[in-house]
A and B are shown apart, each in its own frame.
Chain A
Amino acid sequence: MRLHEYEAADIFYKEGIAVPRRGVAETTEGALDIADRIGFPVMLKAQVLVGGRGLAGGIKTATTIDELEVFCGELFDSEIKGLPVKKIMVCGKAEVIRELYVGITVDGFNGKPVIIVSTKGGVSIEETARTNPEKIVSFYVEPGADLHPYQARNMLKGLDMSKRLRLGCSVVIERLYKIFKSHEALIAEINPLAVLSNSGVMALDAVLEIDDSAVSRIQYSGTDLIGRIENPLERKGKEIGVTYVDLDGDIGLISSGAGLGMASMDIIGQRMRPANFLETGGGITDKLLYKCMELLMMKEGLRGIFINIYGGINPIHEGAKGVVRYIQEHNVKIPIVAKALGNRQEETWEIFKSGGVHVVTEAATEKAIDRLFELLSK
């Protein structure tokens, strides 16, 4: 779960990391009140959870009331990379001398938290790694361990920094690591970390992504996992307990695993266009697949459905009952092809057939997609 910048900035501030004076507004009047309190010029930052927000026009500087009103009007009316702007963070504009980068993430391959610092801030760390690798240092922390202050100081030795800056920067690293650990983060990032004219450092952006699997056990009041999902279909998916990703095609998909779902999308994509990705994980029941059908049918213009499920941990015969019940209750007419293999497969096929579902019994997903394509070409 990625937090909004204003939420992450509050957490950073509480841990003692300097952030600009700020407030979050849902209307132009609200933004004006905050600007009044902070004083112009102010930054207006759209609170949408997409990368490259600045380049997409989501960040503006207002130097007057008139400018603020114009920019807020534009932002509140707009979508950034498909997401509507509902909140704007209004914050003070700092005198920046230099921009640094500080980030902490999980290195999946080594299985350890890694702290990354660069003297080149304001650009993505991947880009700096390509263009100026000498401006980056990284440091691994042992899993579960705390970061000692000396470790934060020493890791900066190789970078071009004054002693005073090194000290200020190491304190930020220490505090950011505390946040990373206590919030069970996957990413905690400050880019840029600004060096100010008084040699202090200030976080001009705040990124914090919390591990969904740990949300229930961390101390944070704002963890509404479902409410913050913008897309209504994706939100409904989360509510019923599946992963749903909305896409722009017209072939609906239900799969019982993430890898299988992605492979199904790849194969559908060779000739048709998937309307969605849907993955049930190991929780299939009669009711769950009934709700999955309901969710799929909410998408307008759906032409066909492909169900790709395996009976390993899942009782697929139960799932088939839910699908058939939905078809019969709602008189579904579009073609549905199912490939269902594994434990109790024969029973599952019979149930699907009783609801008019076309059953494919070969292992290769291609064969099932061939069948769906044929049915749709008729």
Chain B
Amino acid sequence: MSILLDEKTRVIVQGITGKIGSVQTKWMLDYDTNVVGGVTPGKGGTKVEELPVFDSVEDAVQETGANASVFFVPAAFVLDAFYETIDAGIKLIVVVPEHIPVHDAMKMRDYAIQNNVFALGPTTPGILVPGKGKMGIMPASLFAPGRVGIISRSGTLSYEFAGILSEKNVGQSTVVGMGADPVVLSNLSSILQKFEEDDDTDAVIIVGEVGGEQEERAAEFVEKHMTKPVAAYIAGKYSPKDKRMGHAGAIIRGSAGTVEGKRDILRKAGVEILNSPIDAADWAVRHKLR
């Protein structure tokens, strides 16, 4: 088992005919992901990487039995595509694009919750299950099969942690990018819960960063519900106050969202704090993870 995605998941790619969508479709297929088709309004009937392209998500679901979707749709069209995908009955959505307006993200999150849909992003690298498949843009070479779960707000840092563990022959059960925006479609604690329930995950690393209160709120969940070891790294110790550090969510305002505040709350909840990404290797060895 893994969380969210396995070899049976039937994935469609929205925006499959675009420059990024088509390249990433190839990488996903190369990683043996069960991609069954794609959607680009107006391009129905064509093919990308020998996969059928449909005009609507409804058509794609009818023809292919798809139950998951990954987005490479331009930011301005994401809200519409998101409503369409949920209305077509898909229950897992990965929203890769960045620069989605926050007011759109709030509506998307609300609609996903109402319809019992699990969604990740915006601004997420997606999900990767080593050896089984990936939805999104994670570069496969850094990952190895194993029993450590990773949840990251940052895409690139999820690769860094997976790479550091893989070099030490510590593999990953599932790697999840939760998205780097101020409003994300699923909160950290709901992903932690999936790892806690997953028989193939022995421990979890949270890769957080300054800004927002995801880590603070997840601490309570860890304390009450997590039986597996949890470690956390929080990026942004030297980030200046009131400056937006690339991620729309990474901004320190007043005393909220600081590295120290997040570390303290997580530490009190029983989470082991990693001062630097490389410390993940020692942590994994100490807990005999593989």
Q: How far is the CB of B231 from chain A (nearest CB, A)?
A: 15
Asked if B286 lies at the interface with its beta carbon under 8 angstroms from chain A, I say: no
> Which residue from B141, B154, B238, B276 sits with its C-beta under 8 Å from A345?
B141
Residues of B within 8 A of A342 (CB): 139, 141-142, 159
Q: How far is the CB of B93 from chain A (nearest CB, A)?
A: 15
Asked if A265 and B239 sit within 8 Å, CB to CB, the answer is yes
Contacts A257-B154, A310-B159 given; does A112 touch B180 at CB 8 Å: no
Contacts A213-B102, A214-B103, A362-B167 given; does A263 touch B235 at CB 8 Å: yes
* Bound CA–CA A362/B176 (angstroms): 22
A-contact 0/1 string along B189-230, CB 8 Å cutoff: 000000000000000000101101110010000000000000
Residues of B within 8 A of A133 (CB): none
Asked if A38 lies at the interface with its beta carbon under 8 angstroms from chain B, I say: no
Pair count A-B, CB < 8 A: 201
B106's nearest neighbour on chain A, judged by CB, is A143
Residues of A within 8 A of B45 (CB): none
Asked if B131 lies at the interface with its beta carbon under 8 angstroms from chain A, I say: no
Q: How far is the CB of B136 from chain A (nearest CB, A)?
A: 8
* Bound CA–CA A364/B280 (angstroms): 10
A49's nearest neighbour on chain B, judged by CB, is B242
Asked if A256 and B183 sit within 8 Å, CB to CB, the answer is no
Asked if B245 and A106 sit within 8 Å, CB to CB, the answer is no
* Bound CA–CA A124/B254 (angstroms): 9
Residues of B within 8 A of A269 (CB): 237-238
Asked if B290 lies at the interface with its beta carbon under 8 angstroms from chain A, I say: no
Contacts A106-B106, A111-B105, A267-B276 given; does A258 touch B99 at CB 8 Å: no
Q: How far is the CB of B77 from chain A (nearest CB, A)?
A: 12
* Bound CA–CA A111/B119 (angstroms): 13
A-contact 0/1 string along B127-140, CB 8 Å cutoff: 00000000001110
Asked if A259 and B155 sit within 8 Å, CB to CB, the answer is yes
Q: How far is the CB of B117 from chain A (nearest CB, A)?
A: 14
Residues of A within 8 A of B155 (CB): 257, 259, 310, 312
Query: What are 25 residue pairs bridging A and B, where the CB atoms are less than 8 Å apart in the complex?
Result: A108-B183, A109-B187, A143-B103, A143-B107, A144-B103, A184-B101, A211-B103, A212-B248, A213-B101, A217-B76, A243-B244, A258-B154, A262-B154, A262-B245, A266-B276, A269-B238, A277-B246, A282-B137, A310-B156, A311-B139, A312-B137, A313-B125, A313-B137, A363-B164, A366-B277
* Bound CA–CA A184/B213 (angstroms): 21
Asked if A258 and B247 sit within 8 Å, CB to CB, the answer is yes
B157's nearest neighbour on chain A, judged by CB, is A259
CB-contacts of B59-94 with A (<8 A): 75-76
B100's nearest neighbour on chain A, judged by CB, is A213
A211's nearest neighbour on chain B, judged by CB, is B102
Asked if A186 and B157 sit within 8 Å, CB to CB, the answer is no
B237's nearest neighbour on chain A, judged by CB, is A266
Asked if A192 lies at the interface with its beta carbon under 8 angstroms from chain B, I say: no
Residues of A within 8 A of B248 (CB): 211-213
Asked if B106 and A262 sit within 8 Å, CB to CB, the answer is no
Asked if A343 and B27 sit within 8 Å, CB to CB, the answer is yes
